[in-house]
Amino acid sequence: MAKRDLYEILGVEKSANEADIKKAYRRLAQKYHPDRNPDNKEAEDKFKEAKEAYEVLTDARKRAAYDQYGHDGIDPQRGGGGGHPGADAFGDIFGDVFGDIFGGGRRGGGGQQVYRGADLRYELELSLEQAVFGDTQNIEFTTLGECEGCKGSGASAGSKVTKCETCNGMGQVRMQQGFFAVQQPCPRCKGRGQTITQPCDSCLGQGRVRRKKTLSVKIPAGVDTGDRIRLSGEGEAGANSGPAGDLYVEVRVKDHPIFEREGANLSCEVPVSFVTASLGGSIDVPTLHGQVSLKIPAETQSGRMFRLKEKGVKPVRGGSTGDLYCRVMVETPVKLNEEQKELLRKFEKSMQKDGSTHSPRETSWLDGVKRFFKG
């Protein structure tokens, strides 16, 4: 019977990268694992098939041979570099794929288990102006960093470091459960592969200490609340000389006394006097780019919106600059003296005499009320 294509087994394209292959294998391994499918020969065969495909396609030399010659290129009886993995090889595959799921580490130099440092999150408050135009901010936070006294080894200067007898210096112990082999950090040396006779006084043998750290963060123009800035390698130091985690700076833009932001657009309320709204005129309007003059037409009603093009925000991910929307709010005069009140009464009487409709909104509203009560 002809053997199935390895890419077809995992359900990936021939151009798939290692991450795609690993993801596909993880999905199949979880689905067809013998512990989940007891006494199911078909599931066991598919599990073995996926495992063999994964081992070949994640080995650059074997994959190249398979791509050029097919199964003959990886058949050891035909001179290929492949072959079926044994229990040890399978255990390594399990540790590589499923270790990432459960927070496990990887083996470093000398076989010891190394662990990537944790990612950190920092919330940075910005003013609207800082978010729109960009800025540089100094931030201070507490993190786990490599101990300077022992350089991350966990041992005092001159102390003796010996190979762990439990894991034989590998930093891992293997647990066999039937067909499945599980690797986990050694409980005695915590994955180091070594035991320390005299721990470092500064870090108590941990290799890491908690300390304050200050960074200068460049804020790109156009960021908004919820945006994240990733600073690679600025998180917690890894264990056993593992890689450091990342620092994610999360942006939160503070409320502005004048403007409200919605995406790339800004909005604000502009108070206009009763006379200017009635007769028309010009008023000065503030924008983040400077003051501009806004022309108010005669008979402008309260709530009318005016658009100022490209007076908004240039998005951080590209695109056109937003607009500024100004909502006119006609202001009622307050603290009137008797003379001013009398002038307004005369003004109202003069409007009633000429028979014209000077309040269109009031008239339409009253008509609606009449229709409502008439059913």
d(CA 289, CA 310): 10
Chain length of the chain: 375
What are the tokens at 252?
């939160």
Instruction: Give CATH for domain 6-102.
Output: 1.10.287.110
Look at residue 75 in the predicted model and tell me its pLDDT: 72
Structure tokens at 106: 């990887």
Can you list the alpha helix ranges (DSSP code H) found in the chain? 6-10, 18-32, 41-57, 60-69, 87-101, 128-133, 274-279, 338-353, 360-374
Residue type, 130: Q
The CATH code of domain 120-253 reads: 2.10.230.10
| For the chain, domain boundaries | 6-102, 120-253, 260-374
CB 161 within 8 A of CB 112: no
In angstroms, rounded to a whole number, what is the distance separating the alpha carbons of residues 13 and 24? 11
pLDDT by residue, tens only, the chain of 375 residues: 567 889 999 998 888 888 888 888 888 888 888 777 888 888 888 888 988 888 889 887 888 888 877 887 777 655 444 444 433 434 344 444 444 433 445 555 444 556 788 999 999 999 999 999 999 999 999 998 888 888 777 888 877 778 888 887 777 787 766 667 777 778 777 777 778 878 888 888 788 889 899 999 999 999 999 999 999 999 998 877 778 899 999 999 999 999 999 999 999 999 999 999 999 999 999 999 999 999 999 999 999 999 999 999 999 988 899 999 999 999 999 999 999 999 999 988 888 777 666 776 767 777 787 787 886
Amino acid at site 64 = A
pLDDT of residue 355: 63
Q: What is the pLDDT of residue 112?
A: 52
Task: Report domain 260-374's class.
Answer: mainly beta
| Predicted pLDDT at 280 | 95
Query: Could you tell me the CA-to-CA distances from 33 to 9, 64, 177, 253 in Å, in that order?
Result: 15, 28, 12, 48
Note whether 236 and 147 are within 8 A (CB). Answer: no
- Residue 10: CB partners within 8 Å, gap ≥ 6? 16, 21, 24, 25, 28, 50, 53, 54, 57
Write down the pLDDT at residue 244: 87
Radius of gyration from C-alpha coordinates of the chain = 36
